[in-house]
Chains A and B, each alone.
Chain A
Amino acid sequence: MKGNEAIAHAAIRYGVDGYFGYPITPQSEVLETLEDEQPWDTTGMVVLQAESEVAAINMVYGGASSGKAVMTSSSSPGVSLKQEGISYIAAAELPALIVNVMRGGPGLGTIQPSQADYFQATKGGGHGDYHLIVLSPATVQEMADFVGLGFDLAFKYRTPAMILADGIVGQMMEKVVLPPFRPRRTDAEIAAQCPWATTAKRGRGHRNIVTSLEMDSPKMEENNRRFQETYARIQENEVRFQEYYTEDAEYLMVAFGSVARICLKAIEDARAAGIKVGLLRPITLWPFPTKEIAALSRRVKGMLVVELNAGQMIEDVRLATEGRVPVYHFGRMGGMIPNPDEVLDALKKDFPEIK
């Protein structure tokens, strides 16, 4: 099945309480598959096509406030519209899952694949000092798996998580093993898991109020310190990445999402020609595998960052390497996709000693 379809099936099976979305290529199959599956008749999951992306993210805000597992999905221009709501959800310390199947921008751009929303996803996107946990799937299997992982992390840390996919992995069909069905949580289970949620008092004695507003600056600074402590714990515990052929690598490629797979093919070709190249694929784009890249920068001669943008993740790679080795960028933009040969040519151009 397609990556977008896998997200929809995984959401139903995870026991998601509500999906709120608005169609946009190349992620419309998420909403379409949910409408086809009609989970409101089976699990009781709400599936709602909102009047706009802004409405959808605020429905997520409301659902998340009551402790429900709620999500939305969109593509780049639609995710830009959601940013105000995402900032509010982060500030209100609520779990939620946001899916962005990126297309070429800026503006309405194109409907073809892109990774140009890396900055938006990993550096905040909306206003204020906040981070999302950002997961980057490279396969249809990971599209399915990261729905559950995203929700688990979002509830664990009470912060929104994002699946940052590209149009390739959204539109591509591959083999996938879907997670087993689990029932949606009961109201009592939600009240026990989320003592902060607006679930009615239930003998609690006080009202829970969910808000991002705090007019008292010392208290707002205190809130910010708490957010930063949460982010520090996430950075300590949740970095995920995958390494390929790094044991003896003289050069390292760094790439995320489906581009990592294009690089892997280039590396297989390079290895066949005797060129020792490895690949590091960040799975969490935030928290970023800074320590691992720093360690590799002590072993390799140089790095090539390959992205479907003008150079975004390269900034995090350069920060991690602290100038120890040269770090170059190869990118295609606007919905264009490099093939493995182009990637290998870029490596050879940047490192002329490679024959």
Chain B
Amino acid sequence: MKEEIIIAGFGGQGVLSMGKILAYAGLMNNLEVTWMPAYGPEQRGGTANVTVILSDSPISSPVLDRYDTAVILNQQSLDKFESKVKPGGTLIYDPSGIHHLPTRTDINIVPVDAMEAAIEMNNTKTYNMILLGSLLALRPIVDTEAVVKALRKTLPERHHHLIPLNEQAIAKGMELARK
């Protein structure tokens, strides 16, 4: 098993932290993991992306140009990464702010209205966890239990009371992706 994932959007949308939680969840499931960010000023606005690889064997390159799965949160990232999804792969995107829809027919394209769902949940910070839920519904590479363990590991203790809310967000994302 090997899953090569790109998560891309604006800085501040939780791109890097979503990738980090996914990587830690892989670790909890005893997988090999790499988390490779486009680091630097991108983290403070502008586009941000992170490559996450989960595998049951040692991982060679942390830098890729073709992905099994892409999670896309803005137009620039869609323009950049749509062509880089492997045939038969999965592209999840949030349609808010997307004007030119993805056009490929050889991949599984799934729009998830995560921003709207986050607003419904009265907490826009759940946005990235909703998308993580959608990703895991379509690509069940790690189980929800591992994600909760990862949240416990990566969130500072003062934020642990937010873990149930994050679980709800993941469940919401799963439901949206299955529609």
Q: What is the interface of chain A, defined by CB distance below 8 A to chain B?
A: 25-26, 111-112, 167-168, 171-175, 258, 261-262, 264-266, 268, 337-342
Contacts and interface: CB of A to CB of B under 8 A. Distances in A.
Contacts of A341: 65-66
A261 B35 contact: no
B60 A171 contact: no
Interface of B: 20, 23, 27, 32-37, 39-41, 59-66
B64 A173 contact: no
B32 to A, nearest CB: 6
Given A25-B40, A26-B39, A174-B33, A168 B63 contact: yes
Contacts of A338: 63
B36 A111 contact: no
A260 to B, nearest CB: 9
B118 to A, nearest CB: 26
A95 to B, nearest CB: 32
A268 B36 contact: no
Given A111-B40, A261-B60, A265-B60, A172 B34 contact: yes
A258 B59 CA distance: 11
Nearest to B35: A173
A175 B65 contact: no
Given A258-B63, A261-B59, A265-B60, 20 more contacts: A25-B39, A111-B41, A112-B39, A168-B63, A171-B36, A171-B37, A171-B39, A172-B37, A174-B33, A174-B34, A261-B60, A264-B60, A265-B61, A265-B64, A268-B60, A338-B63, A339-B63, A339-B64, A340-B63, A341-B66
Give the residue among B23, B34, B60 with the most A Cβ atoms within 10 A.
B60
Given A262-B63, A337-B63, A339-B64, A173 B20 contact: yes
Nearest to A258: B62
Contacts of A111: 39-41
A66 to B, nearest CB: 37
Give the residue among B32, B36, B37 with the most A Cβ atoms within 10 A.
B36
B64 A340 contact: yes
Give the residue among B37, B40, B65 with the most A Cβ atoms within 10 A.
B40
Contacts of B20: 173
9 contacts: A168-B62, A171-B37, A172-B34, A173-B34, A173-B35, A175-B27, A262-B60, A340-B65, A341-B66
Contacts of B36: 168, 171-173
A278 to B, nearest CB: 14
A268 B58 CA distance: 13
A173 B61 contact: no
Nearest to B84: A339
A276 B59 CA distance: 20
A308 B131 CA distance: 35
A266 B66 CA distance: 12
Given A172-B34, A173-B33, A173-B34, A264 B40 contact: no
A268 B65 CA distance: 15
What 5 A-B pairs have minimum CB-CB distances, sorted nearest first? A265-B61, A339-B65, A173-B35, A264-B60, A265-B60
Contacts of A342: 65
A337 B62 CA distance: 11
Nearest to B61: A265
A112 B60 contact: no
Contacts of A268: 60
Contact of A262 (B23, B32, B40, B61): B61
A258 B60 CA distance: 9
Contact of A172 (B35, B60, B65): B35
Contacts of B65: 339-342
A339 B67 CA distance: 12
A266 B64 CA distance: 10
Nearest to A110: B40
Contacts of A265: 60-61, 64
B64 to A, nearest CB: 6
B39 A261 contact: no
A261 B61 CA distance: 5
Nearest to B58: A139
A150 to B, nearest CB: 23
B33 A175 contact: yes
A341 B63 CA distance: 11
B75 to A, nearest CB: 23
B89 to A, nearest CB: 16
Nearest to B39: A171
A312 B66 CA distance: 29
